[in-house]
Chain A
Amino acid sequence: MAVLVIADVNGVDLEESTRKTVTAAQAIGGDVDVLVAGSGAQGAAESASKIAGVRTVHHADDAIYANRLAEDFAGLIVAMAEGYDAILATANTTGKNVMPRVAALLDVMQISEIVAVEAPDTFVRPIYAGNAMQTVQSSDAKKVITVRATAFAAAGEDGSAAIEAVGAAPSAGVARFVGEELTQSDRPELAAAKIVVSGGRAVGSTENFEQYIFPLADKLGAAIGASRAAVDAGYLPNDYQVGQTGKVVAPELYIAIGISGAIQHLAGMKDSKVIVAINKDEDAPIFQVADYGLVADLFKATPELIEALS
């Protein structure tokens, strides 16, 4: 039995989510290998080789993998698939884009966004925006799986796997990268942050986010999140959205400010260790999941909180 984990490479660095997906792979059992694909991502391959319990790191270094286009990346994974009983990737926007393409090419029904491994062929995953948990058993000989990384602990970093170079697969030649607008920030990455401060529609504007939410986040060394309503209203860009269709986070501390707590939002943050809610509506559903609730006007309470932390 052997499992292949697709590494999360951010430019040329390995993301921590890879170590969590390795933990999910280890729960399935057998030898765990990691595929690092990128352009000049030798550092990511070296980081992957240090993940505890990894047998071999396959490193595909080619310009066509620089931007992880699904058409070319899927071709590489399919070319590597022989000899593996399961192929796992983190359920981030790259994994969600690439893995169903891999699954279809292998004639496999993908198991999306698992949160637990019950047996090598049996997995738990959320459906209906997290309102129900489905346990499914796969009859496919080869499993193709995406993993909700926040549901698994990160594997250790005391490994010493061999790194083997693998050649690029032929490019599909049907898509090319044009450009990207990535959010530049000195704050921690939302999905990996220990503390997240999130704002909702009640924050009211981009300026209010800058005046109230950002200083609190910076005081705490926290990442910034937002509800779908705040993102739809244009207060913050899409990559700040926490929720079932945005990012799923599970920090040590999640502070929800002016967020009512739609089920869609709760699905993205309810696994946080400690949840704080500040909302002037005492009946807001967010209070049903909050460890500490403060019924207050956010425009008064947030500056007070910043002051109290100084």
Chain B
Amino acid sequence: MKILVPVKRVVDYNVKVRVKSDQTGVDLANVKMSMNPFCEIAVEEAVRLKEAGVATDVVAVSIGPEKAQDQLRQALAMGADRAILVKTEAAPEPLAIAKILKKVADDETPEMIILGKQAIDGDNNQTGQMLAALLGWSQGTFASKVEKADDGLHVTREVDGGLQTVALNLPAIVTTDLRLNEPRYASLPNIMKAKKKPLDVKEADDFGVDLAPRLTVLKVAEPPVREAGVKVESVAELVEKLKNEAGVL
């Protein structure tokens, strides 16, 4: 089985982003960039499925700037076999990303595509579901467990009330939640080896997909600031204030 793993280059999750003063976006100049954490979990799961003998090939793909090669090299160092960069300096929306990924999937014919459930920049949580729709495939989103079974793929999903398990016909889409696995750190020898693994670079414009955004960003603002309140000295004072000042008890 071949597994395709789309990954995204985003602001590192430890960076505290700042809104630009002209409110056109957040300031990304000289900010550390990394692989989206949910995408790392996706790569890890694909590599584990390969190590378990379920998958034969793991292909990482990113749609993004030239620099996204860094994240693809990381995926290769974690154990992916080869990588594809679909290059664009524009930041396409999830719908356009899903359309490009559909064309990549048409070429690569994977049996499974594993994606992060959301990217920590746009927080859209859309691409995997959209790709499943465009391909007409089943989807197991927010996965905390993925198992190959005789009747397809069993995916345990993190849902509001607890956990739900679905059986999916293959080919299928899986999107990862936090507790699916703990991604490995790439070892130095594997980082060196990854430099020799194949990485194809393609131009997004050659895919014949309309990349024009459907949403116009009018403004990006700071969130409303919540003022710090008071420190209380004791539990008794806390209860008194909650009863008499805040009126919530």
Contact = CB atoms under 8 A, between A and B. Distances in A.
A293 B166 contact: no
Given A70-B139, A292-B242, A301 B164 contact: no
A129 B163 CA distance: 24
A128 B228 contact: no
Contacts of B222: 132-133
> What secondary structure prevails in chain B residues at the interface with A?
mixed
B133 A101 contact: yes
A99 B132 CA distance: 12
Given A100-B129, A140-B214, A93 B223 contact: no
Given A139-B214, A238-B177, 5 more contacts: A109-B94, A110-B124, A132-B26, A135-B217, A296-B235
B105 interface: no
Contacts of B17: 128, 131-132
Nearest to A78: B133
13 contacts: A70-B139, A93-B157, A98-B129, A104-B98, A127-B123, A132-B26, A136-B218, A177-B165, A180-B162, A181-B162, A253-B248, A273-B248, A295-B231
Nearest to A300: B235
Contact of A132 (B164, B169, B220): B220
A265 interface: no
Contacts of A113: 123, 125
Q: Which of A172, A244, A292 is most buried by chain B, counting CB atoms within 10 A of its CB? A: A292
A69 B137 contact: no
Interface stretch (B47-55, B56-64, B71-79, B114-122): B114-122
A270 B131 CA distance: 33
Contacts of A92: 160
Interface of B: 11, 16-17, 19, 26, 93-95, 98, 117-118, 120-134, 136-142, 144, 154, 157-169, 172, 177-179, 213-223, 226, 228-232, 234-236, 238-239, 241-242, 246, 248-249
Interface of A: 10, 67, 69-71, 74, 92-94, 96-105, 107-113, 122, 125-140, 172-183, 191, 195, 220, 228, 231-232, 237-239, 244-245, 247, 252-253, 263, 270, 273-276, 282, 287-296, 301, 304-305, 308-309
